[in-house]
Amino acid sequence: MTRAWRHGPAPRMPVSSRIVGPVVVGVSDGRLHPDLASGRTDMEEELVLIDNEMKALELQIQELLERQQALQERKQRLNRKIKKLTGDGDASSSKAPGTSPEDWDKKDFPWSQKVDETLKNVFDLQSFRPLQLQAINVTMAAKDLFLIMPTGGGKSLCYELPAVCSPGFTLVICPLISLMEDQLMVLEQLNIPSTMLNSTSTKEHVKWVHDEMLNKSSKLKLLYVTPEKIAKSKVFMSKLEKAYQAGCLTRIAVDEVHCCSQWGHDFRPDYKSLGILKRQFPNAPLIGLTATATNDILEDVKKILCVQKGITFTASFDRPNLFYEIRQKPARFESCIEDMVRVINSRYKGKSGIIYCFSQKDTEQVTMSLEQLGIGAGCYHSNMEPSVKSKVHKDWSLNKIQVVVATVAFGMGIDKANVRFVFHQSLSKSMENYYQESGRAGRDDLKADCILYYGFMDIFRQSTMVVMENVGQQKLYEMVAYCQDSKRCRRVQIAQHFDEVWDSTKCNKMCDNCNCDAALEKIDITSYCSDLIKILKHAEQLDEKLTPLKLIEAWNGKGPSKLRLTSIKPPNLSRSEMEDVIVHLLLQEYLKEQFSFTAFATISYMKVAPRANLLSSEKHVVSMQMRVRTNKVKPTAMEAADVTDAKECGNKRPATETVTGNRRSKVAKVSTVIQD
């Protein structure tokens, strides 16, 4: 019989135990028996392992789904291109009449004779470049057109010549004053009446332009303005509306039209206001021009500009006279400058070129160093006085100085044909930027060099600048992957980026990878990846953040002792190879950047990325391509090999012996594997 307690709770009993099989379960002050506690710990550890494996599986599933989607999209693009090349396809996939270049490749239009005479007598040209005639015919027929043509392909002629052949004036929207100045310089030499309006225009000049816009007898043919003028000047828009009503506004040209899209590499907020032009002036044909726009960006641009049924012509991206090369950037600033000077003096003595730099400070330092080494150079960036920038631009155009050292503020639309070299002293922020900037070389169709000096820390300098852009980091990593790839033809990589198909045999060894056919092999770097992740997790436990340089220090067994792990041996790699491994893991998303904002700077720190969980599976392998030297190099001959490399392989890195696992090989530049 059980006794019931009538007054208050039952009294506290002493520790009680009962036998359950061979295990004694004791309860004393909420503590488990040691044997049970040990068993619980084992089960909790197993749960953690199961959770990690499930996360890894989820990542693999997500990767496979993304890969499947990417392959499906690529398959669709390739099928469209094959149909386009072969002329096959059903009626639904064929172009509407009047939308293909072949429909406009004629000289029997009412304006054809005048166009031909103007080409020869005014522009002093004897023939058109690919797609120029077709584009001119479309805009002369008062149809909207989007023209994608490589830098140096002759885009400006496609609205300048029609402007001369038509009554009234053409409004040209340009993103940069330097672009407008360059165009006006050329038009002045051709005696074509043209002018521009910008923030430095005097009141007298503005009044004269406004009067000419409304004068039906005016000889003004081209009026250049920035998008800010359209977006912010009500007075100008009022004059433009009156000019349209009077029949004086003949057409609208939007140069560098990719700037409209926030997904483009040069997004300008005021470009988004240009949709007002087509809404207010629907009968004025619009021509949008760019060298760099993917299909997605182009569709976005059409919506922004309110162009529903515009015709699109796309020329091939290829510039066969340009030699593309990636050089390992020396650690010392002076060494990089000396290498540039050697190339300039040996190949292009007295010939024009452009050197692009990361920052305004860099342009000033590079200019000063070049001048000290006897190269006539001028600095150009957005913080300079307009009159000083104009003088540098004109002196370079007239060959008074050999090199312009500039930020990206210089170059769009630059019409100097005999530029023999374009160097990038630092990494470009996107493939679009690089393609456009390098394309300013060799517009005369003669051989020219496009050399980019690629350094590890330049990646993180750029990433802190583009982090606030919508797709800035994605585009930067695409550029980094291009630089890391030591196997594929540079033109194949560029073509793939711009949704084209390219046969690498057509490169004709006009890039460093095709010109230097070095052997590559796949190397297992799983252990390196694990070591780096351990270091980062250890730092996180200490509430420490590691910059890329500090990560390399800790991996190399250097730096603060608290950040080093005795269980990790320094890798048998050169410094540059260690950098390449980290970049590969960053691109493959085993590592990631995390940004910290201070009052004076943005700092990039390295962190463990989600894909690192895949390493919980022993079957998971991380690999990358490494360049293998076929000829054995004796240590005493290293210096000689360095010279041979520089001559044969465009300054490729000398071989260093690397041991991976039980395997010993001669390894040079590490390159990222790009999966197709």
Q: Catalytic residue numbers? A: 155
Q: How far apart are CA 296 and CA 277, in angstroms?
A: 22
Residue 88, Cβ density class (10 Å: 0-12 exposed, 13-18 middle, ≥19 buried): exposed
- The dihedral formed by the CA atoms of 275, 277, 282 and 287, expressed in degrees to the nearest 10: -90
Strand, helix or coil at 324?
strand
| Inter-CA distances, 531 with 186, 335, 527, 534, 617, Å | 59, 33, 6, 5, 15
Query: 448: part of which helix (H) or strand (E)?
Result: strand 448-454
**Closest to 194 measured CA to CA, from 223, 165, 163, 158:** 223
**Closest to 421 measured CA to CA, from 350, 517, 333:** 350
Residue with tokens 């997004």: 267
First-to-last alpha carbon distance for the chain, in angstroms, is 80
Residues 6+ away with beta carbon under 8 Å from 125: 119, 157
Strand, helix or coil at 55?
helix
Residue 91, Cβ density class (10 Å: 0-12 exposed, 13-18 middle, ≥19 buried): exposed
Q: How far apart are CA 90 and CA 613, in angstroms?
A: 47
Cβ–Cβ < 8 Å for 297, 263: yes
Structure tokens, 87: 């002329």
Q: How many residues in total does the chain contain? A: 676
**Closest to 232 measured CA to CA, from 257, 199, 262, 256:** 199
DSSP codes, 350-418:
T-EEEEE-SSHHHHHHHHHHHHHTT--EEEE-TTS-HHHHHHHHHHHHTTSSSEEEE-TTS-TT---TT
Q: How far apart are CA 260 and CA 277, in angstroms?
A: 13
Cβ–Cβ < 8 Å for 145, 134: no
Q: How far apart are CA 360 and CA 357, in angstroms?
A: 8
Our CA angle for 394, 396, 400, nearest 5°, is: 100
Residue with tokens 């041991």: 659
Cβ–Cβ < 8 Å for 138, 278: no
Strand 419-424 versus strand 448-454 pairing type: parallel
| Inter-CA distances, 662 with 467, 658, 665, Å | 41, 11, 10
